[in-house]
Amino acid sequence: MEAVLVEPADVAGQKVASWKKEGFRAVVVMLEEQHEEALLRKTAQAVAAHNLDLYFWIEVGRSPALARAHPEWLASLGMHGDWRKRFPKVRPLQKGEVAKAWPWVTITYQEAYDAHLARVKKLLERLPQGYRGILLNDLQGGPASCGCGNLQCRWAVDYGVPSGSAKRAGPGSAAQFVIEIGKAAKGKEVIPVWVAECAHEDLETKKQRPPGGWSTGLCGTVNCFDTCRKKFAEQWSSLHAAHRGPTALLLLHHEFQRDHKEYGGPGGWITKAMKYLDDQTDKPFSRQRLWVVVQGYDVPAAEEAAARRAAAQLQPSVILVARSRIDQSYEPRLVKLKPTAEVGH
């Protein structure tokens, strides 16, 4: 099955008809605080009129509102300073300051976890009848979590830097969050959206095994590929020890800067990323439980088509074509923390 991800305002009758003609069987609608209940009802009616399934997409980790209200909850850029190559104008840290990834407020801090849980439950209260499920995006850590600069580096929390708030213990935050939202959703599908970690080609060529390949340069000088893989496997296993439903893999080739010619075309990285996932787990993840999210925004139609073809080769349960942006960017912000903040690992 193929589905399309769009903004609520885009769901007008004529557009829904065109999506159905393209072969889409479901519509996934972005859901945010500013979306009024009347708009959401109108959206549901337009989708139902064309006999398509309706899902909603909720962004969790990337939250400008919570970032403004609680800068201490922002995800840290870890101890490595390679992110500065992307942002050379950011001044040096002063005493007591930590570099944060604005506007990423992830569920790894207890206070942030509680705030997100309350926020998502409130969003669910305004949803119309008849939808099938919700997708929860960005339940991992923030980007460049070790300080490398890579948008897909999500495994660490306050890596070698002071923490801004009390952290949740262990790798199970995402699993617990999905369970809690599942209770609030009252029988609807709850689908976590996951990001694969860095790849071997992100290392400097001299640090690759064997050395001398090609490099994206996304990890700078940091050599933590093996650590990232282990942490990814640990967090993925923790999620699926508790969650038995579908999981979506976020495979945005352009957003993640995975459109290098060495991948062999726009869809080349998609199959490689799936192999990465299978290599980190004891057995391949069931394709019957797999959603694959590919990029249809900010790319030519031919690139979207290539991404969809590559995803189809993986034989997932659902291919979700994002035609509304799933923003994965960050901006460094320097935040002064309380002197008592603990140093994370």
Q: Measure the CA–CA gap between 99 and 51, rounded to whole angstroms.
A: 48
Q: Is a pLDDT exceeding 60 seen at residue 342?
A: no
DSSP strands (E only) in 166-317: 189-194, 247-251, 290-295
Predicted pLDDT of residue 339: 62
Q: How confident is the model at residue 341 (pLDDT cuts 50, 70, 90)?
A: low
Q: Is a pLDDT exceeding 70 seen at residue 304?
A: yes
* Architecture in CATH of 2-336: Alpha-Beta Barrel (3.20)
Q: Measure the CA–CA gap between 271 and 263, rounded to whole angstroms.
A: 10
Predicted pLDDT of residue 266: 78
Q: Is a pLDDT exceeding 80 seen at residue 128?
A: yes
Q: How confident is the model at residue 170 (pLDDT cuts 50, 70, 90)?
A: confident
Mean pLDDT for 163-186 is 94
Q: Measure the CA–CA gap between 138 and 106, rounded to whole angstroms.
A: 8
Predicted pLDDT of residue 72: 94
Q: Is a pLDDT exceeding 70 seen at residue 316?
A: yes
Predicted pLDDT of residue 15: 93
Predicted pLDDT of residue 278: 87
Predicted pLDDT of residue 335: 95
For a pLDDT cut of 70, what percent of the chain falls above it?
A: 98
Q: Is a pLDDT exceeding 80 seen at residue 93?
A: yes
Q: Measure the CA–CA gap between 188 and 55, rounded to whole angstroms.
A: 10
Mean pLDDT for 107-112 is 96
Contact 192, 100 (CB under 8 A): no
The pLDDT mean for the chain works out to 93
Mean pLDDT for 296-302 is 97
- 57 CB-side CA count, 13 A: 27
Query: Phi and psi for 175 in degrees, rounded to 5?
Result: -60, -45
DSSP-derived 3-state class of residue 43? helix
Mean pLDDT for 314-329 is 97
Q: Is a pLDDT exceeding 70 seen at residue 322?
A: yes
Q: What is the DSSP string of 115-159?
A: HHHHHHHHHHHTPPTT--EEEEE--S--TTTTSS--TT--S-SST
At 196-219, the pLDDT tens digits run 998 889 999 988 888 778 999 999
Q: Measure the CA–CA gap between 135 and 124, rounded to whole angstroms.
A: 12
Domain range list for the chain: 2-336
Please tell me whether the overall predicted TM-score, pTM, comes out greater than 0.75 for this model: yes
Contact 340, 163 (CB under 8 A): no
Q: Is a pLDDT exceeding 70 seen at residue 100?
A: yes
